[in-house]
Amino acid sequence: MPFVTADTQKRRYDVIIVGSGAGGGQSAYTLCMEGAKVLMLEAGRRYSVTEAPMFRTPELAPLRGAATPDKPFGFYDATVDGGWSVPGEPYVRDSEEDAGRFEWWRARMLGGRTNHWGRISLRNGPYDFKPYTRDGLGFDWPIGYEDVAPYYDKVEMLVGVYGSNEGLENTPDSPPGCLLPPPKRLVNDHLMAQRAGRLGLPVIPAHRAVLTQALDHRRIPAQLHPGNLRAQKILAEDMRARAPCLWATPCGLGCAVRANYQSTAVHLPPALKTGNLEIMTDAMVHEVTLGRDGRANGVHFIDRTTGKQEHAAARVVILAASACESARILLNSKSARFPDGLANSSGKVGRYIMDTVGSSVSGQIPLLESLPPLNEDGADGHAVYVPWWLYREQIAGKLGFARGYHIEYGGGKRMPDHGTGAGLEWLTGGSYGKKFKEDVRRYYGSFVGFDGRGEMIPNDQSFCEIDSTVKDKFGIPVLRFHWQWSDHELRQAAHMQATFGAIIEAMGGKTREPVKTDGALAIAPGGSIIHEVGGAIMGADPATSVTNRWNQTWDVDNVFINDGAVFASNADKNPTLTIMALAWRASDHILERLRRKEL
Amino acid sequence: MDRRTTLKWVLAASASWPLLGGSRVRAYSTPTQLGYGTDPDLAINYHPGELWPLTLTADERRLAASLSDLIIPADDRSPSASAAGVVDFIDEWISAPYPKFQIDRDIVKNGFGWLDAEAQRRFGRKFCDLEPAAQITLCDDICDEARAPAGLKEAAHFFARYRDLTAGGFYSTPIGRADLSYIGNTPLAKFEGPPPALLASLGLLPVGLK
């Protein structure tokens, strides 16, 4: 039976996976396809992509679907029991000031945050694994691009990622057969590409985990699972069951036809098909338990349906609960051997939390006014993006900040919503009446938005620890966050603003508000980009890192951390694709060690 | 409520709630027990008044309708705001049990109070009962926050906010989508992108198009 409870679970599994998102989903897929018996524990409720409210329109929702504290990304967003704040599951911030505030987004549902994410799927490049070597800041990873590249290939083929190969610096190409064709550009994409191109910026197809065409179910399964006919058959069938994009409805609602990546659409169905995966939802893991031999023997969890503490047992424990939640579990796993938390002999668990540097500018473009009716839903935006393009100037020390950013861009005649027609006075001079209706028609679809997504360098002031007093509704001690940006991030945010202002001007438009020259005002609060990684970084030295090159904790050899916690740096590239690639790589390693009876 | 109190309220509110934002608005506040919760049923059709009681009085709803229709009147392409259900929407919005919506509630209720008081002071009648020309005279003074005289800044802020709500309520309906000729949200076998002739006319020939 694929879905189990504390009462119906088996006595022991090969592997327990805590968490069901990108890291947990990929780990379950890889392990189960190769025959390992896996129990996946998810703190939230069971969720199926068939719940996705596709095609539902704002007038059917409360408040026309507007964001509320209950649904911070809008009523139809595919987040269940989550947001910036989860009822009964508080966290503590060391500072409420903008500069030192950390926001922690969580979801409590099968598939976790992969159900609503932006699907942007970028590979880290060679520089991104060796940042210390390149500029003397932060930490090198104990692995390089060449170690992860084969797994990027596999993940792209499995989940389906559109994009192109451009041969640009530190922006890796994929081998043939990995990427799907990018979607057609919208009018505003063409304009942005033309005008930003004149400024010398490379505007290239975005990379997103959306099926612009059906996956090749005849070729890919054999490439991903050579010699494993059963896995090939399961995957081929599953690929046939995934429909290509319908070119409608936002990906963030979830996709009932499984045209984009969410763990519940891509990883879990074939993993369940193997018969090797059992899933327990409503299981809030809070502790990895140790046996007398000093190895992990399972996890303690609270059954949310009964409130009782339960135990599950396995030969190997994988934490993939999200970077901070995995760190929390380790820190709460105290024993005589590990008084400061499991696998924390280095004192580095919870340290070096990094988010992405974010800053945004929007503008209005007269050339895009009063265009004829166009269906501009596309693949839910992001047909193009701008990868970081100033590597040379940066390493020469000309920019005043050490790491780069990429530009995410959007515009077009998206479905009108409760914000349409709002805030137009700067263009209309305050029209109302028939003139206002004409103005809204004129300006509809003429707005563009730029979001910078940049690298943050790990620092000693950005970390989480267990709060000494506050507990959640289950009685589990909660995290306390500390946060601080360095000048590198603040200057980078100011650079984003200047760049976006220049592009909007080059497009013949004007910015909604003056661009900010003070990076401290331009930067989004820590955590708010929802790319938090670190907290159990990998390294080459057990004294200064939590895991080795295989996501395996130095201190306990059958505990692996297959989520963003192991990131030793947080490149501007969105972390999800790398989380999956590392999880696949670590899971291959676990399989090998299991076969050799070393775990 | 007297005018000074009204304006104090509006002033306080204006500092904290600038614009009716789109999907990029981040709400950092904590869920309350009073709303629809963190796992609502997404598959059913909701109507204003079902999840929480509407709170505008009959007089306020009458005023809401006349002001909304002054902002979005019927024209040859689409009906007026009230005909598209905007009054119910605004009533639902300002009655919602979430803090940021309660800020709007204060702005709207106090703005209504100011508008009637001002209509009474200048024309001796309630706003709803004024001739359209008189209504326009009043609104012209407050329709643009940037240009509004110092003494009317708060009233102008109310008007801006109310216009945003009216527009949001109108364009988020089938009537509003049709008005803007929105033709998406429909499954397509292929996505062709814009017609080449349109790109050419804009000087955007798809050179280098991948």
ipTM of this model?
0.95
Yes or no, beta carbons of A422 and B19 under 8 Å apart: yes
Q: Do B194 and A187 touch (CB under 8 A)?
A: yes
Of B169, B181, B191, the CB nearest to A247: B191
Q: How many Å lie between the alpha carbon of B125 and the closest alpha carbon of chain A?
A: 22
Asked if B41 reaches chain A (Cβ–Cβ under 8 Å), the answer is no
- What is the rounded distance in angstroms from the CA atom of residue B7 to the CA atom of residue B4? 5
Instruction: Give the residue from B32, B36, B38 with the most A CB atoms within 10 Å of its CB, the best one to mutate.
Output: B38
Structure confidence at residue B104 as a pLDDT band (50, 70, 90)? very high
**What's at A24, amino acid-wise?**
G
- All residues at 6 or more sequence positions from A409 whose CB lies less than 8 Å from its CB, including other chains: A189, A192, A382, A384, A385, A386, A448, A449, A450, A451
d(CA A572, CA A128): 9
SS (H, E, C) A300-323: EEEECCCCCEEEEEEEEEEECCCH
Residues of chain A with Cβ-Cβ distance to B17 below 8 Å are none
A140 CA to centre of own chain: 21
Interface contact A53, partner B, CB < 8 A: yes
Q: A5 to chain B, minimum CA–CA distance in Å?
A: 22
Report long-range pairs for A333-339 (Cβ below 8 Å, ≥24 apart): A333/A287, A333/A288, A333/A289, A333/A290, A335/A290, A337/A290, A337/A294, A338/A290, A338/A555
Contact A85 B29 (CB under 8 A): yes
Listed residue (A478, A565, A468, A451) closest to A85, CA to CA: A478
Query: Which residues of chain B lie closer than 8 angstroms to A370, CB-CB?
Result: none
Average pLDDT over every residue of B103-132: 97
Let me know: does A32 contact A343? Beta carbons within 8 Å. no
Instruction: Tell me the pLDDT band of B10, cut-offs 50, 70 and 90.
Output: very low
For residue B75, the chain A residues in CB contact (below 8 A) are: 434, 437
Residue A184, chain B, CB below 8 Å: the answer is yes
Q: Name residue, tokens 């980009």.
A: A529
SS3 content of chain A, % helix, strand, coil (to 5): 30, 20, 50
Residues of A in contact with B22 (CB under 8 A): 417-420, 422
Q: Find, among A594, A569, A597, A572, the residue nearest to A582 by Cα.
A: A569
**Contact by Cβ (8 Å): B157, B165:** no
A282 inside 8 A of chain B by CB:
no
Contact B103, B175 (CB under 8 A): no
User: Is residue A380 less than 8 Å (CB to CB) from chain B?
Assistant: no
H helices present in A130-219, as ranges: 131-135, 145-159, 187-198
Residue B127's region, left for phi above 0, alpha for psi from -120 to 50, else beta, is alpha
Of A56, A184, A433, which is closest to B71 when you measure between CB atoms? A433
Alpha carbons A360 and A357: distance in angstroms, whole number: 10
Q: Does B167 touch chain A (CB under 8 A)?
A: yes
Residue A110 backbone phi and psi in degrees, to 5: -60, 130
Q: Does B94 touch chain A (CB under 8 A)?
A: no
pLDDT tens, residue by residue, B34-47: 899 999 999 999 99
Asked if B169 lies within 8 A of A413 by C-beta distance, the reply is no
Q: Cα(A249)–Cα(B58) distance, rounded to whole angstroms?
A: 38
Determine the Cα–Cα distance for residues A297 and A293; give it in Å rounded to an integer: 9
Q: Are B56 and B91 in contact (CB under 8 A)?
A: yes
| Closest chain A CA to residue B18 | A423
- Which of B143, B171, B173 is opposite residue A421, by nearest beta carbon? B171
Rounded Cα gap, residues A163 and A171, in angstroms: 12
The 3-class secondary structure across A378-444, one letter per residue, is: CCCCCCEEECCCCHHHHHCCCCCCCCCEEEEEEECCCCCCCCCCCCCHHHHCCCCCHHHHHHHHHHC
What is the bridge-based pairing of β-strands A463-471 and A477-482? Answer: antiparallel
Whether A62 and B36 lie within 8 Å, measured CB to CB: yes
Number of H helices, E strands in chain A: 16, 18
Question: What is Dmax (Cα atoms) for chain A?
Answer: 79
H/E run at residue A449: strand A447-454
pTM: 0.95
Please report the residues numbered 84 through 103 in chain A whose beta carbons come closer than 8 angstroms to any beta carbon of chain B: 84-87, 103
Question: From the candidates B180, B183, B202, which should be mutated to test the interface with A, based on the most A CB atoms within 10 A?
Answer: B180
Tell if the CB–CB gap between B206 and A440 is shorter than 8 Å: no
Interface of A with B in 205-224 (CB under 8 A): 205
Q: What is the DSSP letter of A570?
A: B
Neighbours of B63 (CB within 10 A): 23
The residue behind tokens 């694709």 is A577
| CA B85 from centre of chain | 12
Contacts of B84 in chain A (CB under 8 A): none
Say how far apart CA A581 and CA A280 lie, in whole Å: 24
Give the contacts of B15 (CB within 8 A, at least 6 positions apart). Answer: none
Smallest Cβ distance to A187: which of B70, B185, B199? B199
CA distance A250 to chain B (A): 9
Kindly tell me the number of DSSP H helices and DSSP E strands found in chain B: 8, 0
pLDDT level of residue B206 (50, 70, 90 thresholds): low
- Sign of the dihedral through C-alpha A116, A121, A126, A127: negative
Distance of CA A188 to the CA centre of its chain: 26
CA distance A200 to A596: 54
Alpha-carbon distance A189 to nearest alpha carbon in chain B (angstroms): 10
Query: By the CB < 8 Å criterion, does A433 face chain B?
Result: yes
The whole-angstrom distance between B2's CA and the closest CA on chain A is 26
Confidence of residue B207 (pLDDT cuts 50, 70, 90): low
Strand order of the β-sheet with A92-93 is A92-93, A477-482, A463-471
The shortest C-alpha distance from B191 to chain A (Å) reads 6
How many residues are listed for chain B in this entry? Answer: 210
Residue A420 and residue B163: Cβ atoms within 8 Å? no
Q: Does B180 touch chain A (CB under 8 A)?
A: yes
Tens-binned pLDDT, residue by residue, of chain A (599 aa): 599 999 999 999 999 999 999 999 999 999 999 999 999 999 999 999 999 999 999 999 999 999 999 999 999 999 999 999 998 999 999 888 878 899 999 999 999 999 999 999 999 999 999 999 999 999 999 999 999 999 999 999 999 999 999 999 999 999 999 999 999 999 999 999 999 999 999 999 999 999 999 999 999 999 999 999 999 999 999 999 999 999 999 999 999 999 999 999 999 999 999 999 999 999 999 999 999 999 999 999 999 999 999 999 999 999 999 999 999 999 999 999 999 999 999 999 999 999 999 999 999 999 999 999 999 999 997 999 999 999 999 999 999 999 999 999 999 999 999 999 999 999 999 999 999 999 999 999 999 999 999 999 999 999 999 999 999 999 999 999 999 999 999 999 999 999 999 999 999 999 999 999 999 999 999 999 999 999 999 999 999 999 999 999 999 999 999 999 999 999 999 999 999 999 999 999 999 999 999 99
Residue ranges of B 46-85 with Cβ closer than 8 A to chain A: 46, 51, 70-73, 75, 77-78, 85
Banded pLDDT at B23 (limits 50, 70, 90): very low
CB A80 within 8 A of CB B38: yes
Residues of chain B above pLDDT 90, percent: 81
Chain B residues touching A436 at Cβ < 8 A: 71-72, 163, 167
Give me the total of CB pairs closer than 8 Å, taking one residue from chain A and one from chain B.
Answer: 260
Q: What is the pLDDT of residue A381?
A: 79
Find chain A residues with C-beta within 8 A of B160's C-beta.
425, 430
Say which DSSP state A199 is in: T
